[in-house]
Amino acid sequence: MTTEEKFMRLAIRQARVAEKEDEVPVGCVIVKDGKVIARAHNRRQNTQIATYHAEILAIERACKKIGFWRLEDCELYVTLEPCPMCAGAAINARIKRIVFGAYDRKAGCCGSVYNLPTDERFNHRPQVEGGVLCEECANILSTYFKNKRKTP
- Burial (0-12, 13-18, 19+ Cβ within 10 Å), 106: exposed
Q: Is 94 in the site for its own copies (CB under 8 A)?
A: yes
Binding mask 119-148 for its own copies (x = CB under 8 A): x-xxx-------------------------
Cβ burial of 90 (10 Å; 0-12, 13-18, 19+) is buried
Q: How many residues line the site for its own copies (CB under 8 A)?
A: 39
96 and 123 Cβ atoms separated by less than 8 Å: no
Q: 38 - beta bridge partners?
A: 30
25 and 19 Cβ atoms separated by less than 8 Å: yes
**Within 13 Å, how many C-alpha atoms sit on residue 104's CB side?**
20
Shorter beta-carbon distance to its own copies: residue 6 or 64:
64
55 in active site: yes
Among 30, 38, 76, 83, binds its own copies (CB under 8 A): 83
Shortest separation between residue 99's beta carbon and its own copies, angstroms: 18
Reading across the β-sheet that carries 127-129, which strands appear in turn?
A: 35-41, 27-32, 74-80, 97-102, 127-129
Task: Single out the catalytic residue among 4, 5, 23, 55.
Answer: 55
Closest distance of CB 137 from its own copies, Å: 20
Shortest separation between residue 32's beta carbon and its own copies, angstroms:
14
Residues carrying an active site annotation: 55
Binding site for its own copies (CB under 8 A): 44-45, 47-51, 53, 56, 59-60, 63-64, 67-71, 83-89, 91-94, 106-107, 109, 113-114, 116, 119, 121-123
